[in-house]
């Protein structure tokens, strides 16, 4: 029996990359999954694939920047599956348009990063919490980023918006822990999803990989397994945490990659 048997979950940005892997992992553990995304065709395909594998899943078109759409998606999850127990707040804007160093970023780039990455997560929490209270508890997992945990030369708006995600995680955990609602964040290292391949140069990807301590790169499933754990009762005493799943890129001396790799 899976660790999420009888639970209902919603995954934003569930049509691709990390969200798709998370939807699959939550379904494998027995949860019914609402895949919420702006990409209808790919989102429908993820839900269909889960159903074909014997799971329960529906797709719901949802732009996480729009309050009424997030509220409606939560309501759709309750209508389809009888409630909401798990929310993976995962959708984000990764293309970095209008983002960069502090002197280069545009106001539009800043606003876009915050609208999707921070407002989207805030709205997910805002509408999921009442639904979880109706169930007597639940687990929210926000996708943060290693970009929120250290300074970098670019993607300032993205990093700052993920910093907001980390702080929101603490506030939701503090406000609703006694109601049985846990809230944690997962901070991935580099995962070469479609979003990353489109938004990052091969040189930058190479530089990041030189700093990853593991022999292989990260896969969406590496993040999905942590999401499934945090969603489950096995993580009943884990809340208010930002957990890095990053191949150790955030755990070593800045000079690491200057020497021979693995020395």
Ligand X SMILES: NC(=O)c1ccc[n+]([C@@H]2O[C@H](COP(=O)([O-])OP(=O)(O)OC[C@H]3O[C@@H](n4cnc5c(N)ncnc54)[C@H](O)[C@@H]3O)[C@@H](O)[C@H]2O)c1
Supply the residues annotated as catalytic: 158
Can you tell me which of 32, 33, 143, 160 binds ligand X, judged by CB under 6 A?
143
CB 247 within 8 A of CB 213: yes
Of 194 and 233, the one with the shorter C-beta distance to ligand X is 194
List b or e across 51-89, with b for residues whose CB sees 16 or more CB atoms inside 10 angstroms: eeeebbbbbbbbbbbbeebbbbbbebbbebbebbbbbbb
Is residue 15 at the binding interface for ligand X, with CB under 6 A as the rule?
yes
Q: Which of 34, 94, 99, 37 is nearest to 64 (CA)?
A: 37
Mask of contacts with ligand X, 152-171, x by CB under 6 A?
A: --------------------
Q: How many CB atoms lie within 10 A of CB 236?
A: 11
Is residue 122 at the binding interface for ligand X, with CB under 6 A as the rule?
no
Which window, 25-33, 124-132, 187-195, 248-256, contacts ligand X (CB under 6 A)? Answer: 187-195
Is residue 13 at the binding interface for ligand X, with CB under 6 A as the rule?
yes
Is residue 109 at the binding interface for ligand X, with CB under 6 A as the rule?
no
Q: How far apart are the first and last CA of the chain?
A: 44
250 is written with which tokens? 């955030």
Question: What are the φ and ψ backbone dihedral angles of 122, each rounded to 5 degrees?
Answer: -60, -45
Mask of contacts with ligand X, 49-88, x by CB under 6 A?
A: -------------xxxx-----------------------
Which residues contact ligand X by CB under 6 A? 12-13, 15-19, 37-39, 62-65, 90-94, 116, 143, 145, 188, 190-191, 193-196
């Amino acid at each position: 029996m899976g660790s999420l048997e009888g639970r209902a979950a919603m995954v934003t940005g569930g049509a691709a990359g990390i969200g798709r892997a998370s939807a699959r992992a939550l379904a494998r553990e027995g949860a019914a999954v609402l895949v919420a995304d702006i990409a209808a065709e790919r989102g429908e395909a993820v839900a269909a694939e889960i159903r074909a594998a014997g799971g329960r899943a529906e797709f719901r078109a949802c732009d996480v920047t729009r309050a009424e759409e997030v509220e409606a998606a939560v309501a759709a999850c309750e209508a389809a599956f009888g409630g909401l127990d798990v929310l993976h707040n995962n959708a984000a804007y990764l293309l970095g348009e209008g983002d960069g160093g502090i002197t280069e970023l545009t106001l539009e780039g800043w606003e876009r990063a915050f609208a999707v990455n921070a407002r989207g997560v805030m709205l997910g929490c805002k509408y999921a919490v009442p639904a979880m209270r109706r169930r007597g508890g639940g687990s929210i997992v926000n996708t943060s980023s290693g970009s929120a945990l250290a300074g970098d030369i670019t993607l300032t708006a993205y990093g700052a918006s993920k910093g907001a995600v980390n702080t929101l995680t603490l506030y939701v955990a503090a406000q609703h822990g006694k109601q049985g609602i846990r809230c944690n964040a997962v901070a991935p290292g580099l995962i070469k999803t479609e979003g990353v391949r489109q938004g990052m140069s091969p040189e930058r990807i190479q530089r990041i990989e030189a700093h990853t301590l593991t022999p292989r790169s990260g896969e969406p499933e590496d993040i999905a397994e942590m999401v499934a754990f945090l969603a489950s009762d096995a993580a009943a005493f884990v809340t208010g945490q930002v957990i890095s799943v990053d191949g150790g890129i955030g755990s070593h001396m800045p000079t690491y990659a200057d020497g021979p790799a693995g020395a």
